[in-house]
């Protein structure tokens, strides 16, 4: 049975979260809003004894305590990338109405925590993630208020800040984890930072990475069955043939079944080799740089208390990316006279209309 689209209750909450955040970002991008954020960050960095705002933010993004789960909880960590067009979503930087998967993930976490408090989270709902999000570093006015490109407050720097805290968040995760994306694009933080970190996180690993969305509907059935496996999508990439670990889903079904499976296994084995090399390098760096804080994965996993064990775990979603179209009610027909109302009504074979939606 094919996975169903994202549920309506998740869609409604995700849109609410997205539009609320868009309003806050718009206010942050005003001259006064940006100045207020800059003043706040300067005061916080000075109070923390940091020489600059940049160093203050760098410390925040690499602090494992900022993304650690609340005491007494072992939540399922959600990760996300990209999103999907939606007529009711706020416009993105291209002016397109686009709903980031961030808000779908947050809506899922909210619904899970209502059922079982502390069972799910996203990066933006951690203490460190909330603080970084409230800086609105992707807004031009904020970076200009901090000093602009001349002082290194560039868009690329802002992206690196989120890349750093994303890695810290992935280091603190415990399996299973859920990824809100169909695939991991090679330009995404998910592919560059989060997935490689989850691979080497001893409490997660490839086997505990689950995708919330089924493989793309446009893929052949062979590609969906084989490339669409969670462990495969967590390792290979399907968008850039010039980069390593590329598999072409468009031609996958035309290839010899034995040869294509062997090639796929070889790519996954290559990723595994790289993963082991990264883990060895990380262990070496940790042992030689004693002044740096240890990554959470180097610590022994905490034992669950009976209370924690009794809590229902988060339910991992398996949805089809997109939303079910919302039917639009037809206009009411004119009221019939009393005489007409006694006659048997004619069958209504009128046109069924639907609103804008994505399947």
Distance CA 301, CA 306 (A): 16
Query: If pLDDT is split at 50, 70 and 90, which confidence band does 263 have?
Result: very high
Each residue's pLDDT tens digit, 269-320: 999 999 888 878 877 776 665 554 443 343 433 434 444 445 688 999 999 9
Residue 4 phi/psi, 5-degree rounding, is: -85, 160
Q: Does residue 277 or residue 104 have the better pLDDT?
A: 104
Full-model pTM: 0.84
Phi-psi region of 310 (alpha: psi -120 to 50; beta: other; left: phi over 0): alpha
Each residue's pLDDT tens digit, 158-205: 999 999 999 999 999 998 999 999 999 999 999 999 999 999 999 999
Please report the pLDDT score of residue 335 as a whole number: 52
Beta strand 98-100 with 83-85: parallel, antiparallel or unpaired?
Answer: antiparallel
The answer to which of 19-28, 52-61, 323-332 has the lowest mean pLDDT is 323-332
């Amino acid at each position: 049975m094919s996975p169903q689209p994202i549920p309506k209750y998740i869609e409604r909450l995700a849109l609410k979260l997205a539009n609320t955040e868009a309003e806050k970002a718009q206010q942050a991008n005003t001259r006064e809003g940006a100045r207020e954020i800059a003043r706040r960050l300067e005061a916080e960095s000075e109070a923390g004894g940091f020489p600059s705002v940049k160093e203050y933010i760098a410390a925040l993004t690499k602090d494992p305590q900022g993304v650690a789960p609340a005491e007494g909880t072992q939540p399922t960590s959600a990760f996300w990338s990209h999103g999907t067009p939606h007529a009711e979503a706020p416009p993105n930087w291209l002016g397109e109405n686009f709903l980031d998967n961030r808000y779908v993930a947050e809506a899922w976490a909210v619904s899970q925590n209502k059922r079982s408090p502390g069972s799910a989270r996203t990066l933006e709902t951690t203490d460190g993630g909330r603080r970084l999000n409230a800086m609105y570093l992707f807004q031009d006015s904020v970076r200009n208020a901090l000093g602009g490109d001349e002082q290194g407050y560039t868009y690329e720097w802002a992206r690196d800040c989120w890349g750093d805290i994303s890695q810290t968040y992935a280091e603190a995760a415990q399996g299973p984890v859920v990824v809100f994306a169909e695939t991991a694009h090679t330009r995404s933080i998910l592919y560059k930072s989060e997935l490689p970190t989850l691979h080497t996180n001893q409490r997660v690993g490839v086997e505990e990475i689950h995708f919330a969305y089924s493989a793309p509907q446009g893929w052949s059935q062979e590609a969906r069955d084989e490339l669409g496996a969670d462990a495969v999508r967590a390792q290979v990439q399907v968008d850039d043939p010039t980069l390593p670990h590329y598999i072409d889903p468009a031609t996958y079904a035309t290839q010899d079944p034995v040869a294509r499976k062997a090639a796929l296994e070889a790519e996954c084995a290559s990723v595994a080799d790289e993963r082991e090399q990264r883990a060895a390098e990380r262990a070496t760096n940790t042992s030689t740089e004693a002044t740096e804080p240890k990554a959470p994965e180097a610590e022994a996993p905490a034992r669950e208390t009976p209370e924690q064990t009794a809590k229902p775990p988060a339910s991992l979603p398996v949805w089809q990316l997109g939303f079910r179209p919302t039917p639009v009610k037809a206009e009411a027909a004119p009221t019939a006279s009393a005489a007409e109302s006694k006659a048997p009504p004619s069958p209504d074979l009128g046109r069924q209309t639907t609103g804008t939606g994505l399947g």
